[in-house]
Amino acid sequence: MASETTPNEAGDLTRRSVLKTSAALGLLAVPAVGLLSACASGGDDGGDDVEASGDAKNPFGVDPKKPLEVVIFPGGFGKDYAEKQKTVYNTNFPEAVVTINAIEDLRAELAPRFQGKTPPDILQNEGANKIPHGELIANNQYHDLQPLLDAPTLDDPNVKIKDILYPGVVESGTFKTTDGSSKFFVLKYTYSMWGLWYSQQLFDEKKWTVPTTWAELMTLCAQIKKDGVAPFTYTGVHTYYIRDMFVTLACRHGGTDVIKNIDNLEPDAWNHPSVLAAAEALYSLKKQGFILGGSEGLDHRQSQARWVKQDAAFIPVGGWLENEEKDILKKEFEMRLMAVPPLDGSVNPQAINAGAGEGYAVPADGKNVQGGLEWLRVMLSAKGREAFGADAGTPTVVKGAKEGLPLEDKPGLKSMVGLLESNGDFAFQAMIGDWYPQFGDGIWGPALGELMSNAKNAAEFVEACQKGADAIASDDSIEKQKR
Amino acid sequence: MQTDTRAPEKGTATTGTRKQPKSGGVLNVFSHGFLALWAIMIIVPLAWVVMTAFKSDDEIFTDPLGLPSQWHWENFTRAWEKAGIGDYFLNTVLVVGGGVALTMLLGSMAAYVLARYEFRLNKFFYLMFVAGMMFPVFLALVPLYFIVDNLGLLGTHFGLILVYTAYSLPFTVFFLAAFFKTLPHGVAEAAMIDGAGHYRLFFQVMMPMARSGLVSVAIFNIIGQWNQFLLPQVLMPGEGNNLLADGIASVAVSQRYDPDFSGLMASMVIAMIPAFVAYVIFQRQIQAGLTAGAIK
Amino acid sequence: MKQRKGLFITSFLVLPVALYAIMVISPFLQAFYYSMTNWTGTNPNYKFVGLDNFKRLFTNELYSVYLIPALKHNAFLLIAMPVIVIALALFFAFMLNVGGRSRGSRIRGVGGSKFYKIVFFFPQVLSVTVVGVLWGAIFRSDEYGFLNSILALVGIPTKPSGWLSDPDIVLLLVMLVMIWSSVGFYLVYFSAAMSSIPTEIYEASMLDGASRVQTFFKVTLPLLFESVQTAWIYLGIIALDAFALVFVMTPEQGGPNHSSEVLGGVMYHYFSSSKAAVACAVGVVLFFFTLTLVMVSLRATRRERVEY
C-alpha cells in the first residue's frame, strides 16, 4: 500500500512513540488508529482471506463454536432487530455465543479497538460519531465483502446474494483502495428516502390538500399560516437535514446531471441555474414567514417533537422518522411522506432522493471474519429482513423488500414504500457531502443553514459553495472520486 | 457612575436620610439595583433548573415557567441510576482533592527552591515552568494519551491526578515563587543558625509562614481542576469512569438518541447540590484564604 | 554544607521537574513535530511535509473558514472577557466593601453584602458543562426556551432568529456565560484584597473630599494592582479555553456558520475528522498566538509595585 511514501522512516518513528496500546483515547481516539497499524506493518495483512464456497449451509467456513461480536449503532433503528437476527444465526450455529453491543459514540469506543486489532466482527458504522469508511479502508481495516456477493442466499442455495440486491447497492458500498483498485467494503442495508413528512390527520382536520408543485406548496403554506400553524420546521443545528430539500429541488429542476456535476467537482457546477432556483426557493420560505420561529436553533429531536405536536405542518427528515419518534407518535396522526414538490419548469419532476443507507462492515482484524460475513448473510435472509422490518420499519436493499414489512401498523412506512415503488426509477443521491466531509460539514452545511435562516441570500449561497468546491478540486491532498 | 463629585460625603452624615449628599444616594440606588439584578440573573436560572427537574417532559414544554403540577421525584431516581451522577461526583472529588494536594506539595517545593536558592539552572527551570502557562492543553492531548497509557495509568484516578498536577504546576510555581520571595530572610537565617536543616526550615518554618499564599493558590487550583473538561474526557475512557464535567456532557449528548430532558435537569440538580452545600459550608474559609493571600 | 544544599535542591526539584517534563514538555514537543507531517491519525506511512499544514490553514478556503474566525474570536474573548469580568468584579467588590452608607464615619459595604458574596460566587462551583447545558436551555430558540418564555410573559415576541442560532450574537452569548460564571470568584478575590486595605486610607481620602468614585480610582485600584494582574492571567487562560462552552452550547459546535468557532474547537474538529497533523498545526498557531499576546500584555502592564 501507498508505496510512494517512506514506510521505514514512519515506521521507526511510530514504533518509538507508540506504546502498547489497548485502551481508549476517548473522543480523540482516532489518531491512535494509524499508529498501531503502522507498528504491525505497513503491508496489507488485514485478516484472513475468505472465499465463498458452494456450501449453501456454511459458505464461508464459519467455525460453529467461535463467538461473534456485533456492534450496532442504536440511532434511528434501535437494536432489537439484531437480537432477533441473532436467533437466526444461532439456528445454524447453535453453539456460537453472539454478543450484541449497542454503541452511540462509535469513534470513542471503537477507534482504540481498531488500533488494538480487536475490533468487533460486525460493525454498523453510522451516526454522528462514525469513523469514516474511507479512513478505515485506507488502512486495510475492512474486509472485502466480495465473498458475500458470491455466496448463496440463506433461503435458496441456487440464488446468489448479488442477484437479490437492488441495483446501485454494490456501487454505493464500493470504495477505492490505496492501491487504486475498487472493492465492495460496505453493505448498505436499508433502502430509504428523504422527503417532507406531514400529518394526514392534521391535513384532513384543516381541509388542506397535498400540493404537487412548488407553487401549490406556496399557496398552501399561506393557508396553513393563516390557520395558525407554522408551515415548516426543520433541524437547524444539524444542517445535513436541510440537504435533501436543496438537492431534490435542484435535481428535479435541472435533471440528475446537475447533481452529478456537483459531485464530480465540475467547474461552475454550482453556477447552474437550477442550483440558484433551488436556493431561491429555500430562501423564500423564511422570507414569507413560513418557518416555525426558532427552528434554526432546534436539534432534530426538538424540531421533530414540535412537528409531532402539530405546531408545524412539514418537516424534512429521512425515512427513519416514524421509528425514531414511535414513543410519541400516535397512529391516528397518520404520518405521510412526500418528496419536495418540483419548481416550475422542472425537467425531472419525479426524482426522489432515495437509495441505500446504514452501512455495515466486517472489520478485517476481527476474530471471526467468517462469522461476520455469515451475519450479513443472515441479515439479508427472509427472516433477517423480517426481524428488521418489524422493528425498524424500514425496507432493506433486497428486491421486493416490502414483503414482511408491518405496513398496516406504520402509515409513514406505507407511504414511503409507495413512493419508492412509484418513483424508484428516478432515484438519485448526492455524494459530495459523503465523499468530501470537509466540504459537507465546513462549507455546504453552514451555507445551507444560513440560506434557510436568511443570513445568506441565494446568490451568496451559490458563491460560497462554488468557492468551496473549487478549493476541494484544487487541493492535491484530497483523493478525488468520480461517478 | 457619573455622580456629582463636588458633593463630598461628610463623615457625620446621619443614616437613612434623603438629605444625604447626592453621591452616596445615587450610587446606592444604582449599585443596589445592579447588585440585585446580577443576583437575579444567578438565582432565577438555577431555580428554574430545580423546578424543571421536577416536571414531566411534557409539562416542561407546555408550561416552561409554571410550577410543576405534580412533583416528579422519579426524575431524580432515574438520573441517579441511569447516569451515575453520584459516581461522577465522587470521582471528581477524589481526583481534584488528590490533584490539588499533590500540586500544592510539588508546586511549593519547586517554587521555594527556585525562589530562594541560587544555582546554575535556576532561571532555566523557572522559565520552563512559567512558559507552561502559554501551552494550550489541547495541543498535548494526543501524545499525552500515549504517555499516560504507556505508564499504565490510563483510566485511573492516579493517572489523572498526576496529569492535573503537571498542568497546574506553571501557575502554581509562578505565584508561589513570587510569594516565597517576599518572605523575610531574617527568620530563615535565624532558623539556620539554630541548626535547622534545609528540610526542617522548609516544612516547619517557611510553609507555615506561607500558609496564606498557599491557601489562596490552592483555591485557584481547586476551581481550575474542578472545571477540567478535556483531560478527563480523553484520559478517563469507558463508562462509569467519568468525572462530573464529561459525565454531564455525555448525558447531554445521549439526549440526541433518547431524549429525557427532565432527567437531564435532575442530573444537573444532583450535580449542583453537593457543590452548593460544600460552598456554603466553606465560603468563610474560601474568603479568608483569599484575603490572606491577597496581601503580599 | 554546600553539597547538602545541592542535594536539597535536587531532591526538591526532581519530582516536579520530572513530572512536568514527562506530562507537559514532551507531549508538546511531539505535537510540534506532528504539525509538520501529513499524519491523518490513521495513516501509518505519514511523512514530513514542512509547513504545508500551516499554509493550508491560512490560505485554503476549506481550512481558513475554520481558522480565521477562530483566531478572531479568541482574540476578542481574550481582550473583552477579562476586561468585563474584572471591571464588574471590581465594581461589585467596591460596592460590597465600601459602597454602603456611611454611619458615623465608618466605611461599610452595602446591605446584604454577605448574601451577595455567596450568591455571586455560586456559578463558579458549577461544572462547566452544567453551566453550558443550563444556558443552552435558557437560550433555546423556540417559545419553549426559558428566555423566550419570560419575554413572552412581558409581551415581547420571540426573537425570530433564535439566540445561539443568531450568528451575530452567539459569541457574545458564550462570553456572557463565561462572565456570568466567573464574576463571583473575582468579586470575592478582589473584595478580599480590598478588605485588607486599612479603612483609615479610605476615611482619610474621603475626609480629603474625594467622592467614592474618586476614592476607587485613586486609592483602591492602585492598591489592587497585583490582584488584578493575577486575575488577568487566569482569565486569559480561561478565555483561550472557551471550547467546553462552545462544545456544549452552540449549534454544530462552533456554528452557525463558524460564527462561534474557537481554536480549541477547531483542533477538536480536525482531530475527530482524521486530520491529526492539521489539529496539531492549529495548536501550534494557538501557541504562538498566546505567546504574542503574553509578550504584548507583559510589556503593557509592566510597572512598579505599589507599597502601602
- Average the pLDDT over each of A239-248, A415-424, A428-437, C266-275 and give the range with the smallest value: C266-275
A34 to C39: CB separation less than 8 angstroms, yes or no = yes
* E-only strand ranges, A185-328: 187-199, 230-232, 312-318
Give the other-Cβ count within 10 Å of C239's Cβ.
24
Which of A151-160, C111-120, C143-152 reaches the highest mean pLDDT? A151-160
The chain A residue lying nearest B259, using CA atoms, is A301
* Cβ neighbourhood burial of C307 (10 Å; 0-12, 13-18, 19+): exposed
Band of pLDDT at residue A401, cut at 50, 70 and 90: low
- Total residue count of chain B as it appears in this document: 296
Minimal CA separation from B13 to chain C, in Å: 7
Instruction: Please state which of the ranges A29-38, A313-322, C29-38, C287-296 shows the lowest mean pLDDT.
Output: A29-38
Cell numbers representing residue A236 in the block: 437547524
pLDDT at C95: 82
pLDDT at C2 over 50: yes
C229 contacts chain B (CB < 8 A): no
Question: Which B-chain residues 87-126 have CB contacts (< 8 A) with chain C?
Answer: 92, 106-107, 109-110, 112-114, 117, 119, 125
Give chain A's mean pLDDT. 83
Q: Say if the Cβ atoms of B150 and A19 lie within 8 Å.
A: yes
Judged by a CB distance cut-off of 8 A, whether residue B47 touches chain C is no
Query: Angle A17-A22-A26 (CA atoms, 0-180°, nearest 5)?
Result: 90
Q: What average pLDDT score do residues C257-285 get? A: 86
Chain C contact set for A15 (CB, 8 A)? none
Of A4-18, C50-64, C114-128, C248-262, the least confident: A4-18
Q: DSSP letters along A407-435, please?
A: TTT-HHHHHHHHHHHHHGGGEE---HHHH
A18/B contact by beta carbon, under 8 A: yes
Separation of alpha carbons B19 and B22, rounded Å: 8
User: What local confidence, expressed as pLDDT, does residue A374 receive?
Assistant: 94
| Paired strand residues for A315 | A197
Q: Considering only CB atoms, which chain A residues are within 8 Å of C65?
A: 442-443, 446, 468
Contact status of B48 with chain C (Cβ, < 8 Å):
yes
Q: How many CB atoms lie within 10 A of CB A301?
A: 17
CB A159 within 8 A of CB A152: yes
Q: Does B139 touch chain C (CB under 8 A)?
A: yes
Q: What is the pLDDT of residue C302?
A: 59
Residues on chain C touching A473 (C-beta within 8 angstroms): none
Q: Which residues of chain A are within 8 Å of residue C278 when distances are taken between CB atoms?
A: none
Q: Do C127 and B136 touch (CB under 8 A)?
A: no
Cβ of residue B144 closer than 8 Å to a chain A Cβ? no
For residue B12, name the pLDDT band (cuts at 50, 70, 90).
very low
Residue B165 near chain C (CB below 8 Å):
yes
Among B61, B234, B254, whose Cβ lies nearest the Cβ of A27? Answer: B234
Query: In the predicted model, is pLDDT for residue A261 greater than 90?
Result: yes
* Four-residue CA torsion sign, B192, B197, B201, B202: positive
Does C95 reach chain B within 8 Å, measured CB to CB?
yes
Q: What is the ipTM of this complex?
A: 0.82
Q: Please, are residues B166 and C24 in contact by the beta-carbon 8 Å criterion? A: yes
pLDDT (tens digit per residue) in B30-40: 778 888 999 99
* CB proximity list for B40: less than 8 A, separation 6 or greater: none
| Interface with C, mutate which of A19, A27, A298 (most C CBs under 10 A) | A298
Which residue of chain B is at minimal alpha-carbon distance from A128? B256
Distance from CA of B251 to the nearest CA of A (A): 12
Report the distance separating Cα B92 and Cα A467, nearest Å. 47
- Asked if the Cβ–Cβ distance from A32 to C41 is below 8 Å, we say yes
Three-class secondary structure of residue A140 per DSSP: coil
Residue spans per domain, chain C: 23-129+171-301
Is there a contact between A446 and C252 if contact means CB atoms under 8 Å apart? yes
Chain B environment of C286 (Cβ under 8 Å): 136, 138-139
Contact assignment for C287 to B15 by CB distance below 8 Å: no
Average confidence score pLDDT of chain B: 78
- Chain B CB within 8 Å of residue C13 CB: yes
Q: Which residue of A has its CA nearest to C170?
A: A297
Query: Domain B83-294 is classified in which CATH homologous superfamily?
Result: MetI-like (1.10.3720.10)
Are A25 and A111 a contacting pair, CB within 8 Å? yes
Provide CATH code, domain C23-129+171-301. Answer: 1.10.3720.10
The answer to whether A236 contacts C256, with C-beta atoms less than 8 Å apart, is yes
Our CA-based measurement puts residue B25 at a distance from the nearest CA of chain C, in whole angstroms, of 8
Please choose, from the candidates C137, C141, B64, C136, the residue with its C-alpha nearest in 3D space to the C-alpha of residue A294: C141
Can you give the pLDDT at residue B6?
37
- Region A123-144 average pLDDT: 83
B275 touches chain C (CB under 8 A): yes
- What is the spatial distance between Cα C143 and Cα C256, in angstroms, rounded to a whole number? 20
Which residues in chain B are closer than 8 Å to A32, comparing Cβ atoms? 142, 145-146
CB contact under 8 A, B290 and C287: no
Chain A residues whose beta carbon lies within 8 Å of the beta carbon of residue B255: 301
* Closest partner CB to A294 (pick from C41, C45, C142): C142
pLDDT of res. C127: 77
Give the per-residue SS3 of chain C.
CHHHHHHHHHHHHHHHHHHHHHHHHHHHHHHHHHCCECCCCCCCCCCECCCHHHHHHHHCHHHHHHHHHHHHHHHHHHHHHHHHHHHHHHHHHHHHHHCCCCECCECCCCCCHHHHHHHHHHHHHCCHHHHHHHHHHHCCCCCCCHHHHHHHHCCCCCCCCCCCCCCCCHHHHHHHHHHHHHHHHHHHHHHHHHHCCCHHHHHHHHHCCCCHHHHHHHHHHHHCHHHHHHHHHHHHHHHHCCHHHHHHHCHHHCCCCCCCCCHHHHHHHHHHCCCHHHHHHHHHHHHHHHHHHHHHHHHHHCCCCCCC
Q: Residue B240's pLDDT is what?
A: 61
Q: Where is average pLDDT lowest: A278-282, A293-297, A368-372, A476-480? A: A476-480
pLDDT score of A68:
94
Give Cβ neighbours of residue C7 (< 8 Å, ≥ 6 apart).
none
Q: Give pLDDT tens digits for B132-183.
A: 877 777 778 777 877 887 888 888 899 999 999 999 999 899 888 888 888 8
- Tell whether the model's pLDDT for residue C261 goes beyond 90: yes
CB contact C258 to A (< 8 Å)? yes
- pLDDT-wise least confident of A273-282, C131-140, C167-176: C131-140
Is B159 in CB contact (< 8 Å) with chain C? no
Residue of A nearest to C42 (CA): A34
Q: For residue A32, which residues of chain C lie inside 8 Å, CB to CB? A: 41
Interface check for C214 against chain B (CB to CB < 8 A): the answer is yes
d(CA A211, CA C98): 70
Q: Check residues B110 and A7 and name the one with the higher pLDDT.
A: B110
What are the residues facing A193 on neighbouring strands?
A: A354
* Domain coordinates in residue numbering, chain A: 47-184+362-398, 194-351+428-473
Give the closest-approach CA distance of A438 to chain C in angstroms. Answer: 7
How many interchain CB pairs under 8 A, A with B? 60
CA distances, B180 to each of A38, B124, C195 (Å): 49, 18, 23
Q: For domain A194-351+428-473, give the fold.
A: D-Maltodextrin-Binding Protein; domain 2 (3.40.190)
Give residue C102's pLDDT: 55
Higher pLDDT, C43 or B77: B77
Which residues in chain A are closer than 8 Å to B143, comparing Cβ atoms? 17
Best of A16, A17, A28 to disrupt the B interface by mutation (most B CBs within 10 Å)?
A28
Do A446 and C45 lie within an 8 Å CB cutoff?
A: no
Average pLDDT value for residue range A463-477? 91
Q: Quick one: average pLDDT of C178-201?
A: 84
Do the Cβ atoms of B226 and C125 come within 8 Å?
Answer: yes
Q: Between A376 and B196, name the one with better pLDDT.
A: A376
Quote the minimal CA–CA distance from C244 to chain B in Å.
7
pLDDT at C6: 85
Mutate to test the interface with B, among C2, C3, C20 (most CBs of B within 10 A): C20
pLDDT band at A448 (very low <50, low <70, confident <90, very high): very high
- pLDDT-derived band at B108, boundaries 50, 70, 90: very high
pLDDT level of residue C106 (50, 70, 90 thresholds): low
A-proximal residues of C, 259-278, CB under 8 Å: 268, 271-274, 276
- B27: confidence class by pLDDT, cuts 50, 70, 90: low
**Contact criterion met (CB < 8 Å) for B113 and C207:** no
The per-residue pLDDT for C171 is 95
Q: Across the interface, do C192 and B137 touch by the CB < 8 Å criterion?
A: no
Q: Which residue of chain A has the CA closest to B241?
A: A26
Number of C-beta neighbours around residue A44 at 10 A: 13
Grid cell at residue B86: 453520584
Question: With bands split at pLDDT 50, 70 and 90, how would you rate the model's confidence at C300?
Answer: low
A47-184+362-398 maps to which CATH number?
3.40.190.10
- Looking at the DSSP bridge assignments, the partners of residue A142 are A363
Could you tell me the pLDDT band of residue A33, with boundaries at 50, 70 and 90?
very low
A482 torsion bin: left (phi>0), alpha (psi -120 to 50), beta (else): beta
Determine the residue of chain A that is closest to C256 in CA distance: A446
Residue C130 identity (one-letter amino acid): V
